[in-house]
Structure 1
Amino acid sequence: MTVFEVVKASLVEVVPDVDPASVTAGRTLSDLGCTSIDRAEVVTLAMERLGIVVPISEFRDVNDLDRIVELLRTHM
């Protein structure tokens, strides 16, 4: 499973109203109707699944799925 797939699965689990088909590269969490609390939950769940720890503060101003994936990859 790629990092993007992990983030997507985490997003769909945290925000069940999100259509999985709409979760594509280049989208923002705001576009998908997510709040900052949703973002923190998605990132935390993705980190757990990937077995990594990244300070949540690194994601403070990050809303773009590609950037989330990039940050997670750099800590793997």
Structure 2
Amino acid sequence: MSDLTRTQVFDTLRRNALDVVPELDPAAFAAERTLSELGCNSIDRAEIVTLTMEELGIVVPVHEFQQGYDIATLVDVMLKHA
């Protein structure tokens, strides 16, 4: 089990989302929003999640990700595998 915190995972997701889609409004990145709602297409979402997992050193099986997950749920899924 890793010592990752919710904040670390959230901040890493946020940073990667802003790197992949620079036109995102940083203030709009909130736990209750989905990446789709923020304007990320399917390729953007896959890249954001992949970069985040690589950076945090975690592996989440693809079948555990579902379209429509809000950012808080993405954080929970990643923490479960940390």
**Gaps spanning 5+ residues in structure 2: where?**
1-6
- Which of structures 1 and 2 has the larger relative contact order (alpha carbons within 8 angstroms, sep 6+)? 2
The alignment's TM-score, normalised by the length of structure 2, stands at: 0.82
Runs of 4+ deviating beyond 4 Å: none
**8 Å Cα contact 2:31/2:71 also seen in 1:** yes
Separation (CA, whole Å) in 1 of partners of 2:52 and 2:28: 18
Separation (CA, whole Å) in 2 of partners of 1:61 and 1:34: 12
Identity %: 50
Report how many aligned residue pairs link the two structures. Answer: 76
Q: CA RMSD in A?
A: 1.4
Separation (CA, whole Å) in 1 of partners of 2:8 and 2:63: 23
Of the candidates 45, 48, 57, which is equivalent to residue 51 of structure 1? Answer: 57
Of the candidates 28, 39, 64, which is equivalent to residue 33 of structure 1? Answer: 39
**Gaps spanning 5+ residues in structure 1: where?**
none
**8 Å Cα contact 1:30/1:63 also seen in 2:** no
